[in-house]
A = this chain, B = another copy of it.
Amino acid sequence: AQLRYADVISGDEGVDLWTDRSVGDRDSINGSGSFLIRRGRLVFSGDLGQYFSYYIQPDFASAAGTTDNVLQLRDAYFDVALDRAKVHRFRLGQSKVPFGFENLQSSQNRIPLDRADALNSGVRDERDLGVFYYYTPSTVQALFKEIAGAGLKHSGNYGMFGLGVYNGQGSNRRDANDSYHTVARFTYPMKLDSGQFLEFGVQGYRGRFVPNRGSFRNSATGGAVTVANPADDLRLLQGFRDERVALSAVMYPQPFGLQAEWTWGRTPGLDASTRLLDEEDLDGGYVQAMMKVDAGRYGTIFPFLRWQTFDGFNKAELNAPRNRVDDWELGVEWQINKQVELTAVYHLMDRNNLVTGNRAGRVDYTRFNSDVLRVQVQASF
């Protein structure tokens, strides 16, 4: 479970960070300086005979209509191993889509509070419903385990090679068209003679995505408007092209580490001024530097610095609005013990709002520039 608190220190008003509803001020949708339960997850898992296993994870920090903290599914999958060593595995159900190192990292293993927008906008809540195949040779399994066992913030075993087909509208959404998304990922971990672990990955997906549409305000004087594509634009029913490739590189923190990912692609996106949805280009990524400092009985401390940029669109939000980011984060995660973490981040945001329904009189999807202090307590159980 994660409890968050955020306070806007300075900068523009009307801040709404789409990934964290605790960020806001008196002109935002959410109040300023408010507490938020960001995540709260229970895991039910087990083996069903020698070749089968299941994993179910509801989250109690979901919203349904105006009501918060409803329990909703994150993961619900079923693994079928083809051999006892689990070199070949199929995963059926709702699970993480293998696109991006950081997307696959659990929130316990990620150091920053939220994933960077560029790769995270590829898959809504990182998950979808489908069938996935993972190939992990025994030597790679051993390396994955060694990295994770050393407390180096690994992403977990999603195969050295992964391949999948999935509905494509994102976690907990029904399929909307008559085509799948397909995804492939290859990641290669290695251990240098010095003992330093490195990991490099490449991944991509493609499919057709149908954005949700609704009203928004694109001028201070006019009223709410809607998407202006003609009703016979078949892409509104069958989906817009949605495809990306991405590169990942990780030098694990022993004690100094570096992590970077970058993505390029095409996505459904809205031009707010013409009110037209079209297929648009996107690119962006992040570079993160971090340290692992062992503090003995006081636990482990991870100072980090991250720069992220994105020039794209967020297909999973209403109307697939423009998503421009140029952020710096300076922070520290303190692992007090195996189960309790405290993270504090000074976040310099230069981005635009992705949600509609701002306070009366404010234009939607506008840019803001703010400094925000964010604090999180995370308990894992």
Q: Which A residues lie at the B interface, using CB under 8 A? A: 1, 3, 21, 25-26, 30-37, 40, 42, 44, 46, 48-49, 52, 54, 56, 58, 60-62, 64-65, 67-73, 76, 78, 92-94, 129-131, 166-167, 171-180, 231, 237-238, 336-340, 359-360, 377, 379-381
A54 touching B360 in the complex, CB below 8 Å, given contacts A37-B94, A71-B72, A174-B34: no
Nearest CB of B to A308, in Å: 26
In whole angstroms, how far apart are the Cα atoms of A44 and B129 in the complex? 26
Cβ of A40: which chain B residues have Cβ within 8 Å of it? Answer: 56, 73, 76
Cβ of A238: which chain B residues have Cβ within 8 Å of it? Answer: 26
Cβ of A67: which chain B residues have Cβ within 8 Å of it? Answer: 62, 64, 72, 172-173
Q: Let me know if B381 and A48 touch, CB within 8 A.
A: yes
Q: Let me know if B130 and A359 touch, CB within 8 A.
A: no
A339 touching B49 in the complex, CB below 8 Å, given contacts A60-B73, A177-B31: yes
Pick the contact of A340: B3, B49, B180, B340 (CB < 8 A). B49
Pick the contact of A379: B78, B172, B359 (CB < 8 A). B78
Pick the contact of A60: B3, B76, B129, B339 (CB < 8 A). B76
How many copies the complex holds: the figure is 3
Complex A-B: 22 CB contacts under 8 Å = A1-B56, A1-B76, A1-B78, A3-B129, A26-B237, A31-B167, A31-B178, A34-B167, A35-B175, A37-B76, A42-B56, A49-B338, A49-B339, A49-B340, A60-B76, A61-B73, A62-B67, A64-B64, A67-B173, A69-B72, A69-B73, A78-B379
Nearest CB of B to A353, in Å: 16
Nearest CB of B to A379, in Å: 5
Cβ of A69: which chain B residues have Cβ within 8 Å of it? Answer: 72-73, 76, 94, 171-172
Q: Let me know if A337 and B48 touch, CB within 8 A.
A: yes
Which residue of chain B lies nearest to A171 when distances are taken between CB atoms in the complex?
B69
In whole angstroms, how far apart are the Cα atoms of A252 and B14 in the complex? 52
Nearest CB of B to A227, in Å: 15
Nearest CB of B to A374, in Å: 15
Nearest CB of B to A210, in Å: 9
Cβ of A78: which chain B residues have Cβ within 8 Å of it? Answer: 1, 3, 377, 379
Cβ of A380: which chain B residues have Cβ within 8 Å of it? Answer: 48
Cβ of A167: which chain B residues have Cβ within 8 Å of it? Answer: 31, 34-35
Cβ of A339: which chain B residues have Cβ within 8 Å of it? Answer: 48-49, 52
A178 touching B26 in the complex, CB below 8 Å, given contacts A131-B35, A339-B49, A381-B48: yes
Cβ of A359: which chain B residues have Cβ within 8 Å of it? Answer: 237
Cβ of A52: which chain B residues have Cβ within 8 Å of it? Answer: 336-337, 339-340, 379
In whole angstroms, how far apart are the Cα atoms of A76 and B175 in the complex? 31
Of listed A21, A69, A92, residue having the most chain B CB within 10 A: A69
In whole angstroms, how far apart are the Cα atoms of A261 and B34 in the complex? 31
Q: Let me know if A175 and B30 touch, CB within 8 A.
A: yes
